[in-house]
Amino acid sequence: MPDVFRTPESRFASLKEYPFTPRYLEWEGLRMHHVDEGPRDAPVALLLHGMPTWSYLYRRMIPGLTAAGFRCVAPDYVGFGKSDKVTDDGWYSIERHSQSIAHFVRELDLCDITLVCQDWGGPIGLRQVVDMPERFVRLCIMNTWLHNPTHEYTDAIRNWNRQWHPGGLYDERQACGEVMRFQVEHVEGSTLSPEEAFAAYEAPFPDRASKAGPRRFPLSLPFDNPEGGNAVDQARCFEALRTWTRPVHFIWGTLDPIFTESWAETWSGIYPQATLDKLPASHFLQETHGEAIVERLLARIAEE
Q: Kindly list the catalytic residues.
A: 119, 256, 283
Which residue type, as a one-letter code, is found at position 23? R
**Strand 275-279 relative to strand 248-253, pairing:** parallel
**Strand 23-27 relative to strand 30-37, pairing:** antiparallel
Which residue type, as a one-letter code, is found at position 288? T
Displacement of CA 225 from its chain's centroid (Å): 20
Q: How far apart are CA 54 and CA 56, in angstroms?
A: 5
